[in-house]
Structure 1
Amino acid sequence: MKPIIVSLFLFLAAIACGQTSYTKGRIIDSIAVIGSENETFALYLPTTFSTEKPAPIVIVFEPAGRGKVGLSPFIKAAEKYGHVLVCSNNSRNGPYDRNFSIADRLFKHLFSQFTIDPEQVFLSGFSGGARLATSIASLSDEITGVIGCGAGLAMQPGNMPYNSNFLYAGICGTRDMNYSEMLELMPLLARLKFNKTLFTFDEGHRWPPEEKMLEAFDWLYVALHKKGTVALDGDTLKNLYLSNYEKAMDKLKNEEVLGAFEDLNRIHESFGSSYHLDSISQRITTVKGSPAYKKAFKERNAALVTERKLTALYFERMNSEFKAPETAAMNWWKNAFKKLNKQFSKGGPETKRMIQRLRFKLFASLYERTSPNLNPNEQEKQKNYSLALRELIKETTPEDYLR
C-alpha cells in the first residue's frame, strides 16, 4: 500500500506533465495505463471539462473489473460537479496486495496525465470495490471523500480508518445482503469522529441508481462547503435544501417513515448551520413519535435480530459441511428454505427484505468459494458442494423474491 501513498503525495503536489485529448461527454472504455502490462481503465470527461483548470476526480473500483459499468451511476453527478470519472478494468474482488499494485499504477498514470484538484479527490466502489476504496483512503491522507456502495470496511485490521479524516457517504439497498453491516458501520464511524451519512434505497445488492449517487455527492459538497473547501452560493445551497426537504416529504406521503426520518436527520445535520431549522426539529420529533414510525422501527429491529440468528446458524452449518462435504445434508437445507419461504409469504415488508438479504448472503458466500480468483486452491469436493447448494438456493427461490 505504501507506493499508493507516495504516488499521491508526489503527484497531487505537482502540475500534470501533459494531458491527452479525449472526447467529452461519453465513456471511453479502454485506455492503457502507462507503465503496466495490459492494464486499462474507463474514462468519462464531463462536458464542462477544461485542461485550463484543475479538475475534481472520482476513482471507482468495480468488483468485476467492468469499467464502463462502474462509471455509469456517476454520470449525472459528474455533469453537475465537473468530475473526471475513472474506473479500472483490472482491479476486482481478490487479494488486496494485487489490487493495491493495480491502483498504484493507475494513480501514477492519472496524476501525471491530468491536472487534478488535490482538495477534490474522491474514491468509490461497489461491494468488494467499496472495501478497497475505503482501504486506500484509510492508508492515505490525500483522499477527500469515499462513497461506499453496498459494503463497508475491509476485513483486514491494518486497513481500518482509525486515523483518517475523509468524508464518508454510504449507499446501500434495504434488500442488500450487507444492509445490516452498513447500519452498524454508522455508529462505529461516529465514534471515530467521521463526518458520515448513509443513503438507502429499496433494492438488493447492486450499484445505486444515478439519482441516489447524485444525492450522495450533494451531501459531500455541502459538507465541503461547511469545511470551507469549496464555495456554494446562496441559491445553490437553498436549492439543495429544498430538494432534500421535498424528497423527505414525498417519503412521508408514501408512508416510507424510516426513509423520511433518515432524510430529515441528514437535512438537520447538513443545513443546521445555514438556516434556522426549528420546523425540521419538530418534524423529526413528530415522525419519531408517530405510531407508523414506532411500528416500522420495531419490525426492522426484530427482522435484524432474526437475520443475525439465522446467519449464524446457516453459516455455522455451511462452514462445517464445506470442510467435510461428505457430511452435507441437502434435505436439511431444503427444509430450512421452505421455512424461509413460509415466513416470506406471511411476513411484513421488513421480514421480506430480511429474507431476501439472508438468501443472497448465502448465495454470495458460496459464489466466492467457487471463484478461482478468490479461492484458487479449492478442492473438487468442496467446489461441488458449493455449486450444489447454490443451485438449491436458486431452485427454492420464489418469483416474488425478485420483484
Structure 2
Amino acid sequence: MNRILFIFLVCAFNGMLGQEMSLKKGAVVNDLKINDSIQESFSLYLPTNFDKDKMWPVIFVFDPMGRGRNTAHLFLPGAEQQGYIVASSNNISFKDSLSANVDVALRLMNKTFNYFPIDNNRVYTAGYKEGAVVASAIPAIYPNIQGVLAVDDFWSTQNYLGKDSNFSVVALIGEKDANIYKLQQVQYFLNKSGHTASLYSYNSNNEWPGAEMISQALAEFSLQSMSKGLKHINNELINDLYNQDVEISERLRRSLQPYKAYQYLEKMEMKYALFDKKDDIRNLQKEIKKEHLFKEQRREYNRAKIKESQLKEEYIYYFEEDVYTVNFENIAWWKNQVKELEEMQKSKVEAQSEMAYRIQGFLQVMSSENFSKIKQERAGIDRKIYSAVLQTVFKKDDPEAYLYIISQSANDGDYYTALLYLEDLLKTGYKDLEELYNIPNTLDLKLSPEYNTLIKKYTGTSKYYNIGVEE
C-alpha cells in the first residue's frame, strides 16, 4: 500500500454528492481545486499509512507567495513521520488584505473537513510572514485550533488570547531578522496568558526554515497531543524525535557553536518536560559548559545583547526626536550609523554580526512605518520629504521613497532636490522608464533636458532630449 494510488468516495461538498477523488498517498498532490466556481487550489499530502476509516490530524499551510507545492514539500518529512495530513494553499497573497486571505484559508479548511476524516481535536495552522498572520488569526474564528506554527510574524491583536483559547504556538525566526523583537513580545504575552509558546531562531533570513526545523517544530504539537491525551503515547516516536533534536544540538556543537547548542538543549528541556528526558538533557548541557569556546561565546552573546538593547533605546529616542523636529541636519549622522552597522555585520564575532543585522532591520521597520504614516497625514511638505529621505537612508534600494521625493519636490518647485534624488535612484540600478515618466507632479520636470540627460546617462536612453551624454 506504500505510495500507491487509491480511490474512495466521499460525501457531498457544496451540494455535490458522491464526488470521486483520486489521490496518491506518500506524495504531494498539486493543484487540487477548491470547487468549480472559484479559481482557488491547494496542494495536499497524505501519509503513506493514511486510512480513511481513522481520524487524522491536519496542518493547514499558508505561504504569502501562494507556493502551496513548495511549502507542502517542506512539511512532508515531519508529516510522514508523525502522521499529519498537510493542506497547503496556492492562493494566499501578501498583496491581499488579512480578511481576504482568511476567507481563502477558511474555504480550504472547509473543503478539507468535508473530504477527509479529520480529528477536530488536532487541527493546526502554519504560515510564513503574511501567511503567519493568517495562521495566527484563524483561532479567533475557529477556536478548535490546537496549535499555530508562525514563521517571521504573528497577528498582534490580543483580544482573543483569553482563558477560553488554549492553542499553543511555535514561532520560528531568522537569527538576523528584526521581527524577532515582535515575536519575543508575542511569546512573553502568550506565556503570561497561560498559552504554551516556544521561539526558535534559524540560520536564514527572509525565507522558510528547512524541512528539518519544521519537522522538529511540528514535533512540539505531537508531544503536546500525547501529554494532553489527544494522541496515544508512542514511545518509539518520542525517542526518535528526541534523538533528532539531540543530533541538531550535536551538529551545532561540532560546527563550533557550543553556545547555540546549549540554547537548543534548554528549549528541549521544556519540549520533553513530561517525557523523562530531563537528566539526559542536563548531562549534555554539563558537557558543553566545560568547553572554553562555550564560555567565550556566552560572553560575546551577553555583550551583544547589552549593546543591542542600548542601541534600540538610543535609536528610538533620536528617531522620534528627529522626526518631530524635521532635523535634516542629522541625516548625515544616520547615514554614518547605518555604515557602522554594515561594518559590524562583517564581524567574525557571530553575536555582533547577527545583532547588527537585527538593528539595521529594526531601523528599516521604524522608518517604513513612519513613512507610511506621514504619507497618509496632512503633513507639511518638509515633513513629508524628510520622512522619505530617512527611508532612503535605511532602505537604499527601495525606489518608493525616491519617487515620492521627486514628486513632492517637483510639486513644490524644488527641481534641484528632485534631480538630486533622481540621480540617487538611478545609481541604485533602477531602470523602469515607464515609471520615471509617470511620477505625479513632474510634467515640467520630465520635459526638461536635465531630467532626460540624467536618465540617459544611467539607462542608455531617454524619452525626450535623447541626446548624447558626456562621459
Q: TM-score range by the shorter chain?
A: 0.7 to 0.9
Q: Is the 8 A contact 1:175 1:204 kept in 2?
A: yes
Decide whether the 8 Å contact of 2:147 with 2:169 is kept in 1.
Answer: yes
How far apart are the structure 2 equivalents of 1:70 and 1:386?
A: 36
148, 151, 155: which is aligned to 1:149? Answer: 151
TM-score between both structures, scaled by the size of structure 1: 0.76
The 1:92–1:110 alpha-carbon spacing in structure 2 relative to 1, beyond 3 Å, is same
1:392 is matched with: 396
Question: How many residues of Structure 1 are paired with residues of Structure 2 in the alignment?
Answer: 378
Aligned to 2:441: none
Long gaps (5+) in structure 2: 1-11, 399-423, 425-471
Q: Which moved more, 1:325-334 or 1:269-278?
A: 325-334
Bigger mean CA offset, 158-167 vs 386-395: 386-395
Unaligned runs of 5+ residues in structure 1 are 1-10, 396-403
How far did 1:353 drift?
Answer: 0.7
Give the structure 2 partner of residue 266 of structure 1. Answer: 267
Alignment of structure 1 residues 340-355 onto 2, 5 Å: 340-346=341-347, 348-355=349-356
Of 357-366 and 131-140, the range deviating more from structure 2: 357-366
- CA apart distance, 1:286: 6.4
* Larger CA deviation: 300-309 vs 174-183: 300-309
Matching residue of 1:95? 97
Secondary structure in 1 matching 2:109: helix
What's the counterpart of residue 110 of structure 2?
108
What displacement does 1:339 show? Answer: 1.8
One-letter identity of the residue aligned with 1:201: Y
Counterpart Cα distance in 2 of 1:108 and 1:35? 15
Query: Residue 133 of structure 1 corresponds to which residue in structure 2?
Result: 135
Alignment of 1:186 with 2:197, yes or no, is no
State the partner residue of 2:71: 70
Secondary structure in 2 matching 1:144: strand
Provide the rounded CA distance (Å) in 2 between the counterparts of 1:367 and 1:109. 38
Q: 1:20: how far off?
A: 2.3
Give 1:248-259 correspondences, 5 Å limit: 248-259=249-260
Q: 2-side partners of 1:250 and 1:53: how far apart?
A: 37
Q: TM-score, normalised by structure 2?
A: 0.66
Over 3 Å counting, the alpha-carbon distance change for 1:193 and 1:279 in structure 2 is same
State the distance in 1 between where 2:48 and 2:366 align: 41
Distance in 1, matches of 2:108 and 2:293, equals 49
Deviations 1:162-212 (A, max 9, x none): 642123222222112222333444333322222332332222232010011
Change (3 A) 1:279 1:110: closer
Cα contact 1:321–1:328 (8 A) shared by 2:
no
Conserved? CA contact 1:138–1:161, under 8 Å: no
CA distance in 2, matches of 1:100, 1:39: 13
Q: Contact between 2:364 and 2:391, CA under 8 Å: does it hold in 1?
A: no
| Deviation at residue 107 of structure 1 after TM alignment | 2.1
1:124 aligns with 2:116: no
Partner of 1:216: 217
Alignment partner of 1:186: what SS? helix
Tell me if structure 2 keeps the 8 A contact 1:258–1:297.
Answer: yes
Q: Counterpart of 1:84 in structure 2: which amino acid?
A: I
Deviates more, 1:246-255 or 1:226-235: 246-255
Q: How far apart, in 2, do the equivalents of 1:167 and 1:95 lie?
A: 25
Aligned-residue offset at 1:88: 2.4
Counterpart-to-counterpart distance in 2, 1:184 and 1:17:
48
Deviations 1:5-50 (A, max 9, x none): xxxxxx9xxxx97662234444444333238643333333344334
Greater alpha carbon shift after TM alignment, 342-351 vs 78-87: 342-351
1:274–1:343 distance in 2 versus 1, CA, 3 Å: closer
Separation (CA, whole Å) in 2 of partners of 1:356 and 1:290:
28
Aligned equivalents of 2:185, 2:259: Cα separation in 1: 16
* Aligned-partner residue type, residue 55 of structure 1: W
Q: Following superposition of structure 1 onto structure 2, how do residues 30-49 of structure 1 map, counting pairs within 5 Å?
A: 30-34=31-35, 37-49=38-50
Name the residue aligned to 1:399: none
Deviations 1:296-345, CA, capped at 9 Å, x for gaps? 34533443454455456657777899999996976454322212223334
Which structure is richer in relative contact order (CA contacts within 8 A, separation 6 or more)?
A: 1
**Bigger Rg, structure 1 or 2:** 2
1:142 Cα shift? 0.7
Q: Would the alpha carbon gap of residues 64 and 320 (structure 1) be closer, same or farther in structure 2, given more than 3 Å must change?
A: farther
- The answer (yes or no) to whether the contact 1:174–1:201 under 8 Å persists in 2 is yes
